[in-house]
Amino acid sequence: MALLVILDGVGDIRARGKGTPLEEAKKPNLDGLVENGAVGLMSTLGRGLAPGSDTGHLAILGYDWKNEYPGRGPLEALGVGMELKEGDVAFRANFATVIKNQIVDRRAGRIETEEAKKIAKAVEKIKIDGVEILFKHSTEHRGAVVLRGKGLSAKIKDTDPHKIGELHACEPLEKTKEAKKTAEVVNKWTKKVMEILSQHEINKKRKLPANALLLRGAGMHKNVESFEKRFGMKGACIAGGALYKGVAKYIGMDVINVKGATGDRNTDLEAKRRAVENALKKYDFVFLHIKATDSFSHDGDFEGKKGFIEKIDSAIRFDFETDVIVVTGDHSTPWSLKRHSGHEVPIIFSGELVRKDDVKRFDEYSAMRGGIGHIKGKDIINMIKNYMGKNEVVGS
Amino acid sequence: MALLVILDGVGDIRARGKGTPLEEAKKPNLDGLVENGAVGLMSTLGRGLAPGSDTGHLAILGYDWKNEYPGRGPLEALGVGMELKEGDVAFRANFATVIKNQIVDRRAGRIETEEAKKIAKAVEKIKIDGVEILFKHSTEHRGAVVLRGKGLSAKIKDTDPHKIGELHACEPLEKTKEAKKTAEVVNKWTKKVMEILSQHEINKKRKLPANALLLRGAGMHKNVESFEKRFGMKGACIAGGALYKGVAKYIGMDVINVKGATGDRNTDLEAKRRAVENALKKYDFVFLHIKATDSFSHDGDFEGKKGFIEKIDSAIRFDFETDVIVVTGDHSTPWSLKRHSGHEVPIIFSGELVRKDDVKRFDEYSAMRGGIGHIKGKDIINMIKNYMGKNEVVGS
């Protein structure tokens, strides 16, 4: 069996007189893994490219991010538990407060999950011009929308302007009848949703009513070859965040839902560890995703990121009985930059068949001297298969 | 001039308390080459991929293993000295003993070369439904078969089940009339061959008669750009095994047949050295292949592999007068795994124009610290041309 651990946005750079969070954190278990393995630096999509969370994970899991990426919407929709068919157009959606066509709050006052769930029921399924439009709420103001029908296109503009201000109509981004039709359907649906939500009992009592749904990240779902078919391994995903579950579902992996795995800094790492232990009994390949390393960096919080790495180290322990354990990130998110960057990410390969190098620590600078050298995201699964002794000969 | 030496399957991993054969072998000449050059690690097809002998050599010699690989059959047929035309379908073939449609011995009792050669004459050329079917014997039970005619396909199943048991009919692997026709021709030919061989005088005396020919590795021959045209160098191949000669012929290199070069552990390495010396006087590029390092690994024989590396070191000496000498393998074959793996292979570049690094030894672990870093098989010829000072500027 193999375990791939992605510490989201873990890669960093030295800044303001500090070492990187990986350099400064006490993490005896991760460093121990390095002692029994080899390290290197990984460019998820290619040198200097800053990966998104979606493309980054697709590449790491062995998919062609240029040709097999359906857009963010379908991955989010799958991640919140919706089923998709080829040709469906999906979006990320969020409840907002719109007054006189002005977006007053993009998150409807960060509406609480329970209240949003009740409101969502009113707009779960609407049919417009023969197109079925499904909405599924996830947490707080968030959810996903799926358009199902003939002749749709994802080449349309977001209705979410990503800022306060006028609510714009959806517009086609190309001159095709599919894009035109889809934009029209979205506009009719947006209007209809606002009519329904404005009348909702709960909203009548809210200062910032959740009276609109804003859409972004349009993408058209397509069926891709399953991870099992492509790599001959039965895979499972353990993650908190919807996107990561969505990526796993997109490639046909089982998603193991873990109570307390929230995808944020309060996630139950112990519960995730136990879930990994169990999954390794049933699956050839387990993908564990931990999100908050990235979130601390987006907040520019060095101490938070460092402390969370220490928490991960002591909770996950990395002492699983497997053929190979790989630990890396999907990209670097330097805390001093507060955003994804194209800096390489350190990566550990640990296992019986790994040629050990003489590096002793897991961090960006030690990894420069690692025996693995520089690799790309797409190399990882093939290397894992090799270290599992499972790869087939190419040719004869 | 340049010399490329491929020690088949030389790459290895530490196992059972032992260093790798390259680490443990005394090989002053190879290590001396490193002192005057630089080392690195080479992934023949890509990280983690386990190359076959055929795809591996094509990649190393600068050919696209995804689009320019004709399948194993044509390379073997070329290697045993058959001439191929575009559209020919070729196979590896072996004499077997078949009794009442049961394969009793896949190698007809490992029939001796001389006896097999005599039997082979009876089935060298057969015509069925307008298709000419040629057989050429090579060594022991081995040979190659070529189908020549219009509308053939290589998308057909092996008749060699790779194990004892029922002799299966050849079946098309796709629903085309070409595949259907080719399978039919193969089946009629198989029957005809069995009729002829059963009546053969020699077989009447054999306990395990060589009364059938089993086919595998179907491939369709195509003409590819020659090595000389692609790289501007006149190349020659010195090898024992048929496949390696076949790869060289496929890309238009001259094959220098060396008496005593058998492709096995008894090969005459001194004779190969002399052949290299002579070839370097006439050719820009000499490709020397030595097989048995791989064979010892397939047998799980650590001592054998280590000892053979020492033999190579003292017989070949690696002190040729050339612009550049490159030594590597086509893939790793760890003796503890007994099969090809996707582990990187160490590679030496030695020559006047090579930037020397500070590594002193030729082995997998020292190569991690080498100045060449990690390269792919397809990089090798371009790097050789550069170290020869022969490469043209790309663009202007």
ipTM of model: 0.93
Q: How far, in Å, CA of A148 to CA of A126, rounded? A: 11
Record: contact A395-B69, CB cut-off 8 A: yes
Share of chain A above pLDDT 70, in %: 100
Please say which residue of A220, A243, A270 terminates a domain: A220
Nearest CA in chain B to A390: B341
Q: Tell me the β-bridge partners of B326.
A: B4, B349
Cβ burial B49-65 (10 Å sphere, 16+ → b, else e) = bbbbbbbbbbbbbbbeb
Q: Are residues A189 and A234 in the same domain?
A: no
Q: Are residues B201 and B294 in the same domain?
A: no
Q: Are residues A88 and A9 in the same domain?
A: no
Q: Give residues 287 to 346 of B whose Cβ lies within 8 Å of A.
A: 334, 337, 339-343
Q: Are residues A304 and A344 in the same domain?
A: yes
What parts of chain B have a pLDDT lower than 50?
none
For residue A241, what pLDDT is reported?
Answer: 93
Q: Number of folded domains in chain A?
A: 2
Q: Are residues B44 and B123 in the same domain?
A: no
Structural domain containing residue A127: 82-220
Q: Shortest CA distance to B170 belongs to which of B200, B147, B148?
A: B147
- Residue B396 inside a domain? The answer is no
Q: Are B157 and B168 in contact (CB under 8 A)?
A: yes
- Residue B22 inside a domain? The answer is yes
The distance of B39 to chain A (nearest Cα, Å) reads 13
Q: Shortest CA distance to A93 belongs to which of A146, A168, A144?
A: A144
Please say which residue of B185, B220, B255 terminates a domain: B220
Which of B13, B65, B334 comes nearest A395 by C-beta? B65
Tokens of B253: 């290199």
Q: How far, in Å, CA of B156 to CA of A47, rounded? A: 42
Q: Are residues A216 and A228 in the same domain?
A: no
Q: Domain holding A57: CATH number?
A: 3.40.720.10
Q: Are residues A20 and A129 in the same domain?
A: no
Residues of A in contact with B48 (CB under 8 A): 379, 381-387, 391
Q: Shortest CA distance to B305 belongs to which of B13, B46, B90?
A: B13
For residue B391, what pLDDT is reported?
Answer: 87
For residue A396, what pLDDT is reported?
Answer: 86
Q: Are residues A191 and A203 in the same domain?
A: yes
Tokens of A338: 């507060």
For residue B267, what pLDDT is reported?
Answer: 95
Q: Give residues 364 to 383 of A whose Cβ lies within 8 Å of B.
A: 371, 373-376, 379, 381-383
Amino acid at B268: D
Residues of B in contact with A383 (CB under 8 A): 47-48, 342
Q: Shortest CA distance to B98 belongs to which of B217, B198, B169?
A: B198
Q: Are residues B106 and B158 in the same domain?
A: yes
The distance of A354 to chain B (nearest Cα, Å) reads 8
Q: Shortest CA distance to B54 belongs to which of B258, B256, B242, B285?
A: B242
Record: contact B47-A371, CB cut-off 8 A: no
- Residue A77 inside a domain? The answer is no
A294-303 pLDDT, tens per residue?
Answer: 999 999 999 9
B23 touches chain A (CB under 8 A): no
A86 touches chain B (CB under 8 A): no
- Residue A267 inside a domain? The answer is yes
Record: contact A393-B340, CB cut-off 8 A: yes
- Residue B394 inside a domain? The answer is no
Report helix, strand or coil for A190: helix
B262-293 pLDDT, tens per residue?
Answer: 989 999 999 999 999 999 999 999 999 999 99
For residue A299, what pLDDT is reported?
Answer: 96
Q: How far, in Å, CA of B182 to CA of B191, rounded? A: 14
Residues 6+ apart with CB under 8 A from B181: B129, B151, B152, B153
- Sheet bearing A345-351, strands edge to edge: A254-255, A235-238, A285-290, A2-7, A324-328, A345-351, A37-43, A373-376
The reply to whether the predicted model has a pTM over 0.90 is yes
Q: Are residues B198 and B80 in the same domain?
A: yes
Which of B47, B51, B364 comes nearest A379 by C-beta? B47
Tokens of A385: 């298969």
A232 touches chain B (CB under 8 A): no
Q: How far, in Å, CA of A182 to CA of B79, rounded? A: 60
Q: Are residues B230 and B295 in the same domain?
A: yes
Q: Which one of B23, B42, B43, B47 makes the best mutation probe of the A interface by having the most chain A beta carbons within 10 Å?
A: B47
Rounded to the nearest 10 degrees, the angle between the axes of helix B242-250 and helix B72-79 is 100
Q: Shortest CA distance to A4 belongs to which of A329, A355, A253, A339?
A: A329
A183 touches chain B (CB under 8 A): no
Helix extents (H) in chain A: 21-24, 28-35, 53-60, 72-79, 113-120, 177-198, 201-205, 227-231, 242-250, 269-282, 292-298, 302-316, 380-387
Q: Are residues B244 and B381 in the same domain?
A: yes
Burial class (CB in 10 A: 0-12, 13-18, 19+), B136: middle
Please say which residue of A220, A249, A272 terminates a domain: A220
pLDDT along chain A (396 residues), means of 10: 98 98 98 96 98 97 96 97 97 96 94 95 97 96 97 96 90 97 98 97 95 97 97 97 96 97 93 98 98 97 98 98 97 98 98 97 98 98 96 91
- Residue A75 inside a domain? The answer is no
- Residue B6 inside a domain? The answer is yes
Residues of A in contact with B294 (CB under 8 A): none
For residue B392, what pLDDT is reported?
Answer: 87
- Residue A74 inside a domain? The answer is no
B92 touches chain A (CB under 8 A): no
For residue A253, what pLDDT is reported?
Answer: 98
Residues 6+ apart with CB under 8 A from A338: A297, A298, A299, A300
Record: contact A395-B52, CB cut-off 8 A: yes
Record: contact A396-B217, CB cut-off 8 A: yes
B93-127 pLDDT, tens per residue?
Answer: 999 999 999 999 999 999 999 999 999 999 999 99
